[in-house]
Each structure stands twice: as structure tokens, then as C-alpha cells.
Amino acid sequence: MRTVYLNGQFIPETEAKVSIFDRGLNFGQGVYEVSPVIDGKFRNWPHHAARLERSKALARIADDTDWPAVLTELIARNGLNEGRACLQLTGGEATDRAFPLPDPAIPATRFAFTQADDLLVNPWGKNGLRIVLRPDLRWQLRSAKTTQLLYAVMMKAEAREAGADDAWLVEDGLVTEATSSNAYIIDARGVLVSHPVDTGVLPGVTRICVMEIARGMGLPVEERPFTPDELFAAREAFISGAGTLVLPVTAVDGKPIGNGGPGTITSELRQRYIALLKTS
């Protein structure tokens, strides 16, 4: 049985309970982070910590938890070698359901848990992902990593029903991102193209490193939206995320991308990112 963290205590997962009046449950006033765990250590924390602070400010959630200490303890208690460490904060447990922020403020609800998974040996890393394109109908404040994930859940389900692994979202004729990761192409010129970090997409922690690695490889980079037509004409396509690392995309709406297999640049980016994680 896993040990989880809830409001300052490490307890068995079966004992963890949150009030039905919690503002995260009632209003989606919650933010979260997921850090990859490799060799028993959570990785890339400075970037995750910075994004968490931005998300908390946008969602108006106050918290001063020492998350590195909490995650270190959770990983040790659960004997986790590889997988994910997840933390979440909500607006706290109110006495009733009311839209205005409580005055005086109430303590945030804080919890964290670990999940075992194979990140380094991933079948999609070898075979590539198949995706479908769907309209981006999510809310517009995407730069905060909030728990407003209903549309992502729905689109993942639609992708699976269509025989694909995930969906990339399209708004005003431009690809924004995947349901829970950032989206990239290597276009016909050999340029890495990815949507700029603004309110239209989540500022991915893994994306920061991918861009740095790409530039270090001498790869031309353009931070701009791209169209579905550019995607279909691309040499390669891939995603990045804390829970997936870097994975190739090999087919979109049933059409192959490039030669229909994982691209060489994507594979190099994945290997370099894994190497970076092991030393971060």
C-alpha cells in the first residue's frame, strides 16, 4: 500500500480524504505539478517549482510547503525508483459552497503521491504515437497548471475511441498543444517549431529543457504556432512532458508523419533529455 502526503501528514492512501466542500472539487481552484522520478530522485525541480509559484499566484492559492522534502520522503517511503511524483494544491476546505474567495483566507489543501511507471523504456519511444486533431475548446487561461482538465479527459477518450493514442488541439486553424503535453514538429526545412509560451499553452518544464538541448545541437528553432498542413508536411513530430519525457508522433488522423517512424532528431532529443535528467 502506498504512503501519501495530505496536509502535513504521511498516511496510507486508504486513509486520505478531502472534504466535499473543498474548493478544488467545487470550483477547480487547484494547481498541480508532476515531476519525473528517475533512479529514486525527482528531477527538474527548479523549473517545476517556478511554474508552481506562477500557478499558485494565478489561482490565488497561498502555500509555503517544503515540497522537495515532502517528495523526497514520499519516494523513500514508497521505494520508488522510476515513475512520477505528483503534488496538488487547492483553495482549501470551505464551510460551504460559495464562489467568492473566503475572507479571512483558509488554508490550502495540500497532497502528494507517487506513481511507479516505466519512463526510460517506453514502447511509444520505439514505435511512436498516433494522434488525431480536435478543436481546442478549453478555457483560455492555460498558462497555469490547474486542475481544470475535463476537456483534456474528454479529448483523450475521443482519441482512444478513434484508435489513436492522444489528441493535438487546434484553435483558429493553428495547433496549440497536446491534451497534457507540448507539441512540436521538425518542419520540411529541418526547423524545430513549437507554439510560443503564452496564455495559449502551458509553459512546459520539459519544454524548457528540450529547447535548450535543441539549440545546443545547432538545430534552428522557431517559437510560433504551426498549421495542420505544416504538421502533415513535417519531417518529424513529437511531444514533451514530465510524465512522458520526449516521445515521437508517427501518425496524425491516420496519415504518416515523415517516414511513419520515430525521427532521428526526436530520438536524439529524447536520449539527450534522459541523460540530462539523470544528472539534474
What is the C-alpha to C-alpha distance for residues 206 and 184, in angstroms, rounded to an integer? 12
Q: Does residue 267 sit in helix, strand or coil?
A: helix
Distances (CA, A) of 105 to 52, 59, 66, 98: 20, 13, 20, 13
Cell, residue 79: 521505494
Q: Is the predicted pLDDT of residue 122 greater than 90, yes or no?
A: no
What is the pTM assigned to this prediction?
Answer: 0.86
Mean pLDDT on 71-98: 96
Per-residue pLDDT band for 162 (boundaries 50, 70, 90) equals: very high
| Cα 196 from chain centre | 16
Q: Which amino acid is at 150?
A: L
DSSP state, residue 13: G
Q: Is the predicted pLDDT of residue 138 greater than 90, yes or no?
A: no
What is the dotted CATH code of the domain comprising 3-116?
A: 3.30.470.10
CB-based contact 274:266 (threshold 8 Å)? no
What is the C-alpha to C-alpha distance for residues 88 and 114, in angstroms, rounded to an integer? 12
Tens digit of each residue's pLDDT (9 = 90 or more) over 208-225: 999 999 999 999 999 999
Cell, residue 74: 514520499
What is the C-alpha to C-alpha distance for residues 222 and 248, in angstroms, rounded to an integer? 19
Mean pLDDT on 73-102: 94
Q: Is the predicted pLDDT of residue 199 greater than 80, yes or no?
A: no
Catalytic residue among 41, 145, 156, 278: 145
Specify whether domain 123-279 bears CATH 3.20.10.10: yes
| The Cα angle at residue 41 between residues 217 and 118, in degrees rounded to 5 | 75
- Residue span(s) of the chain under CATH 3.20.10.10 come to 123-279
- Residue span(s) of the chain under CATH 3.30.470.10 come to 3-116
DSSP H helical ranges for 162-249: 205-216, 228-233
In 3D, which of 85, 92, 90 has the Cα closest to residue 113? 85
Burial class from Cβ neighbours inside 10 Å (0-12, 13-18, 19+) for residue 58 reads middle
DSSP state, residue 93: B
Strand partners for 178:
168
- Give the DSSP letter string of 37-70: EETTEE--HHHHHHHHHHHHHHHT------HHHH
In 3D, which of 97, 203, 66 has the Cα closest to residue 142? 203
Q: Is the predicted pLDDT of residue 26 greater than 80, yes or no?
A: yes
Burial class from Cβ neighbours inside 10 Å (0-12, 13-18, 19+) for residue 69 reads exposed
- Is 145 a catalytic site residue? yes
Q: Is the predicted pLDDT of residue 41 greater than 90, yes or no?
A: yes
Q: Does residue 133 sit in helix, strand or coil?
A: strand
pLDDT the model gives residue 67:
98
CB-based contact 169:175 (threshold 8 Å)? yes
What's the mean pLDDT when you consider all of the chain?
94
